[in-house]
Structure 1
């Protein structure tokens, strides 16, 4: 039943739950597999392998829709938490589905059921500065000899290490903002506990006299809890600031027993970003993606910029400098463009002040610290005069000229562990996609000269490896991704070091490369950045958000639109993609954007016929 209307699926549906963007459902089918589908029951995709004697239950979406976590009971009768990609991309070498136990729960002894997860890309200043990224919290029911308890784990391992007991109880459900958890207490009633940095608050009871309560579900705004009973589905209001127990009125939602789940609204949003010149466009991208902090270092309600990159607005070799620079920094921040050979554009100066606020010397620990301005490239791009004006603003300023990385000699500060992405410096599409892959996977972006692997790059790939690694020692370059035909041919000439995995992506066009790389190397993106073919600068400047929101750039032709590989990949991302960014709106017509939303299967209306998709146009003040 969806809003009182019967929807028929070709299989039984158990424990159905909406994806965070409201475009997909995850559920358990008749064979006990975890599946996803469109809300009308079409395009069912089986995510888990068929294993005799295994049962699964309680799926919940995690990573903003990129993963599905569920309880899996094996032949030994012990329930454990497992996860699988919501897109169906977790497969073995033969294309068969695979599943993996949730690492953080692997040492709790099992008997784990009823998982509930929340992902929030816009986290606090401290957690992002600490390199932890978005909030990704998981609660679940854990069985013990003395009864059920609720455990909690922060999957980005910040202030909650591993798993911790939250309360004694069962059937936990995280609020949409991740700050409260509802659960069923030992008396069968619904209680509420708030989560704080110093630990949970004292539980507050919300119901009295209920029986058979199960499957708690929050409304998208966090104001209501629905739950199943033996006689139907009921709901209660949840006070915004509940500090003491208070019985809440119960409303019957349905006289038919079932598992409630709310459709999140709105669904996929299309945001067109435009500007009258490259500088204006870069500012529009910044204003659309990053909030204005009240006090730098305070908790934000949205993603905050911790650094600002300044690059020349003229299309030059600096675009490659920008790719290398962006792929090496864990801190999120926009790319602002200013004209080469001139002083700092006044519009850029104003935007920097908006983003970083009042200079805070306490944050100036090092040049990679928050509130740092990074100039990309040499003085032939962003001039020495512009640099002096930037320094006069009062923030730390560092000039990052990675041109020697282009030539194949990596600077030490550009090395991110042992993951490397290779791209042909003569292939703009490969450079843009390679930068995205490097940034998402915390890898080092390096360049080939067409199909030639520069000696210095080969030397770097051969460095710091061991012939027979042992636990705790350096395993060499764990992953090398060669993006594009040139890089693929170049890496083919390298004598591969043992224990190193190489993935190659070849294609017939920039668009085809975009789709193939997404299928192989992306992981449940929350947003899609649409970039016109050949527009490398727009593509690179759109990477400012990829670290924390997992956006993925798709290169599209303004006339023919999506490549087949892109459309196919998008069809598997309907559970996670909530935003479509169109950078440079004059370049891409509505028909191309329509291809994207159609491929995603994004809903045009919700269950009661109200529109849920919207279009936002963003142009900065002139």
Structure 2
């Protein structure tokens, strides 16, 4: 690597590490425990969700020495979930920033923290614009995110070829996009099921939250259809208070949470938008096989729970010994691993259960590039 290339990379890594502390306010408008509507409303008012919040840009980062969420050390054990293997190596005194823990290479894991810099494949990528709530198309070829003006954008994985998909109206805050893709086979085409290539996201319109969808190529966002399962006594599905959508699977089914009743819902694209509540919790994600992972408060901390595609099955606590909040879980493409955020960085844990392992000191939103 040339001296100039090393200098560029060193500068980018230093900048990301320096701004990590401020990024905690830039990541989510959701209460991790989802146990109270008031907390979710309060979190929604953070600057990260305000259109045009240029203050989120890292033009004047704090000095690394003053960054409380710098790479984990023995001085901050309270921020580490109990039982988590803290694998951060000792940092050489000469170049401490470059030695920050970053084990994302070859994993597909990415971390966005509300700045223009994204941790990806063992390095830091400069997208050239603020990147909030980064998500990926199923093939990993396009990124979707909310930019510094609060608008919905897509780009190539290196931040090039940006497209503004839709612009947020004044007074409306957009967050947490997810990419929904459905390519019908021959039989499904005979059933007149159309292909889908769209983005779903949360829209907070002066305190009222709904999930909207817009074609990935651009267009006018509209609320998604939410109906109940057609059983003998269907419970009504809330039309507002919905947030944190995530889609997965060949037919683009999704999960989302409702801040008013504190439950996780499924939405089955194949069955024409019918859905139901399946668990108490928030911030859900879904894998291609229909398993879900979500957040629930236990003894004062946010834990991660999984539930199989048979939603009547028992739940599993993936972080039973957590002594810090574990939030914003994301399934790996093969469904075998769950990445999640803690106050001191990003961890992963086997989806079948096991010991969490720290993979990055960067505090941000984890997502997997397919």
Query: Does structure 1 residue 35 correspond to structure 2 residue 166?
Result: no
Rounded to whole Å, the distance in 2 between the matches of 1:261 and 1:50 is: 23
Partner of 1:78: 208
Measured against aligned partners, the alpha-carbon deviations of 1:235-283 in whole angstroms (never above 9, x if no partner) come to 00122xxxxxx5x21111100101111121xxxxxxxxxxxxxxxxxxx
Q: Is the 8 A contact 2:131 2:146 kept in 1?
A: yes
Rounded to whole Å, the distance in 1 between the matches of 2:137 and 2:241 is: 25
Matches within 5 A, 1:174-189: 174-177=286-289, 179-187=290-298, 188-189=302-303
Q: Is the 8 A contact 1:139 1:174 kept in 2?
A: yes
Rounded to whole Å, the distance in 2 between the matches of 1:107 and 1:194 is: 22
Deviation at 1:108, TM superposition (A): 1.4
Match of 2:268 among 154, 165, 174: 154
Rounded to whole Å, the distance in 1 between the matches of 2:263 and 2:326 is: 16
Rounded to whole Å, the distance in 2 between the matches of 1:37 and 1:4 is: 20
Partner of 2:349: 236
Secondary structure of the residue aligned to 1:7 is strand
Rounded to whole Å, the distance in 1 between the matches of 2:257 and 2:337 is: 21
Q: Is the 8 A contact 1:47 1:86 kept in 2?
A: yes
Deviation at 1:201, TM superposition (A): 1.2
Q: Is the 8 A contact 2:341 2:364 kept in 1?
A: yes
Measured against aligned partners, the alpha-carbon deviations of 1:323-364 in whole angstroms (never above 9, x if no partner) come to xxxxxxxxxxxxxxxxxxxxxxxxxxxxxxxxxxxxxxxxxx
Secondary structure of the residue aligned to 2:200 is strand
Matches within 5 A, 1:348-497: none
The structure with more radius of gyration: 1
Match of 2:360 among 247, 250, 254: 254
Match of 2:307 among 193, 196, 215: 193
Deviation at 1:22, TM superposition (A): 0.9
Secondary structure of the residue aligned to 1:51 is coil
Rounded to whole Å, the distance in 2 between the matches of 1:47 and 1:259 is: 21
Secondary structure of the residue aligned to 2:368 is coil
Rounded to whole Å, the distance in 2 between the matches of 1:224 and 1:2 is: 17
Secondary structure of the residue aligned to 2:254 is strand
Partner of 2:255: 139
Deviation at 1:107, TM superposition (A): 5.9
Q: Over aligned residue pairs, what C-alpha RMSD do you find?
A: 1.9
Q: Is the 8 A contact 1:104 1:162 kept in 2?
A: yes
Partner of 1:167: 279
Partner of 1:4: 122
Deviation at 1:180, TM superposition (A): 0.4
Partner of 2:327: 214
Which structure has the highest strand share of the two?
2
Secondary structure of the residue aligned to 1:260 is strand
Secondary structure of the residue aligned to 1:207 is coil
Measured against aligned partners, the alpha-carbon deviations of 1:529-553 in whole angstroms (never above 9, x if no partner) come to xxxxxxxxxxxxxxxxxxxxxxxxx
Q: Is the 8 A contact 2:237 2:275 kept in 1?
A: no
Secondary structure of the residue aligned to 1:35 is strand
Q: Is the 8 A contact 2:330 2:366 kept in 1?
A: yes
Rounded to whole Å, the distance in 2 between the matches of 1:118 and 1:219 is: 11
TM-score (norm 2): 0.58
Rounded to whole Å, the distance in 2 between the matches of 1:218 and 1:7 is: 22
Rounded to whole Å, the distance in 1 between the matches of 2:214 and 2:284 is: 21
Rounded to whole Å, the distance in 2 between the matches of 1:157 and 1:228 is: 33
Rounded to whole Å, the distance in 2 between the matches of 1:219 and 1:50 is: 30
Secondary structure of the residue aligned to 1:261 is strand
Partner of 2:14: none
Q: Is the 8 A contact 1:184 1:191 kept in 2?
A: yes
Rounded to whole Å, the distance in 1 between the matches of 2:120 and 2:202 is: 24
Deviation at 1:32, TM superposition (A): 1.1
Q: Is the 8 A contact 1:34 1:47 kept in 2?
A: yes
Secondary structure of the residue aligned to 2:308 is strand
Deviation at 1:162, TM superposition (A): 2.6
Measured against aligned partners, the alpha-carbon deviations of 1:350-406 in whole angstroms (never above 9, x if no partner) come to xxxxxxxxxxxxxxxxxxxxxxxxxxxxxxxxxxxxxxxxxxxxxxxxxxxxxxxxx
Deviation at 1:200, TM superposition (A): 2.9
Gap runs ≥5 in structure 2: 1-118, 183-195, 228-235
Residues 39 and 181 of structure 1: CA distance in aligned 2, closer, same or farther (over 3 Å): same
Deviation at 1:231, TM superposition (A): 1.3
Measured against aligned partners, the alpha-carbon deviations of 1:415-463 in whole angstroms (never above 9, x if no partner) come to xxxxxxxxxxxxxxxxxxxxxxxxxxxxxxxxxxxxxxxxxxxxxxxxx
Residues 32 and 3 of structure 1: CA distance in aligned 2, closer, same or farther (over 3 Å): same
